[in-house]
Amino acid sequence: DVVLTQSPLSLPVTLGQPASISCRTSQSLVYSAGNIYLNWFHQRPGQSPRRLIYEVSNRDSGVPDRFSGSGSVTDFTLKISRVEADDVGIYYCMLGTHWPPVYTFGQGTRLEIK
């Protein structure tokens, strides 16, 4: 099974400063069209997760352009260009496989304001 390893697990950031979270997968899962189904989610305390990024670098509707996703093969990154107070919470990466369909989450990275 694929394992996703996030780092850091805790990320204190000053308001207005950038932040970066890494997600490494134990195997490369690139499909024939070159797609990698790596997603990023944000979960605020007491709320359901919300997807920010799909297929490595595509922002979901309504997600501020302060958020960006990048990476390839087994190394992926979520970047926040300028952290705002609303960004606190836990960030998860997730990878899906086509067949059999299996989905794996990273352990989560807790972002807090310094």
Partner 1 sequence: QAQLEQSGTEVKRPGASVKVSCKASGFIFTNYHIHWVRQAPGQGLEWMGIFNPIGSRTTYAQKFQGRVTMTSDTSTRTVYMELNSLKSEDTAVYYCARALGAPDGFDIWGQGTMVTVSS
Mind giving me the DSSP string for 27-68? S----TTS---EEEEEE-TTS--EEEEETTTEEPTT--TTEE
- Look at residue 95 and give its three-state secondary structure: strand
User: At closest approach, how far in Å is the CB of 67 from partner 1?
Assistant: 15
- Look at residue 1 and give its three-state secondary structure: coil
| Alpha-carbon span 78 to 47, nearest angstrom | 20
Give the interface segment with partner 1, choosing from 16-24, 47-55, 62-70, 73-81 (CB under 8 A): 47-55
Q: Which residue, 17 or 70, is less far from partner 1 as judged by CB?
A: 70
User: At closest approach, how far in Å is the CB of 17 from partner 1?
Assistant: 25
User: At closest approach, how far in Å is the CB of 15 from partner 1?
Assistant: 26
Sites of contact with partner 1 (CB under 8 A) = 29, 31, 37, 39, 41, 43, 48-51, 54-55, 60, 90, 92, 94-108
